[in-house]
Amino acid sequence: MSFVAQKFKNFENLPKPLLIIHISSKLTFGTGFGLLLASYFKIVNWQFYGWLLIILAFIIALLRRFLRPELSNGNHSKPLSLIFLSLSFVRILCRFLLLFGIGLGTLLVSHLEHFNWKLYGWLLIILSIIATIPSNYRIMKK
């Protein structure tokens, strides 16, 4: 089994508390990234793009279940493209929360402009990176 496939498998076997923290940190990182995007690039209509990202996240989450091909469990030499197509529900949820967080962050900045969103954006990104250290260590250790 390839290195990447093994890490995906290890991710699925994380204990539930670590898995919940890892998934929640995706939303935190996405929100922080969205805050920074909208804070640094004020020219763009972030209200429109924020809603667009949120709708796109919902569409991907809904359609992903139908687009995922069924792969046999016995095939250990899957190409990398098939590994990404066979993402589990947990990995899909991570991608959904990341996109949703970016959309949410951009909407926050576009509606409430009197806060120092750059500071909050960096704090959320740093917090999300720190929160994923135990789960990433556990995935890489196996």
99 vs 125, more confident: 125
Whether the per-residue pLDDT at 52 is higher than 60: the answer is yes
Q: Look at phi and psi of residue 44 and say left if phi exceeds 0, alpha if psi is from -120 to 50, else beta.
A: beta
Would you say 21 and 131 are in contact if contact means Cβ atoms under 8 Å apart? yes
SS3 15: coil
16, 34, 6: which is closest to 105 by C-alpha? 34
- Distance CA(105)–CA(31), nearest Å, equals 4
Average pLDDT over residues 73-97: 59
Determine the pLDDT at residue 112. 83
Average pLDDT over residues 103-117: 85
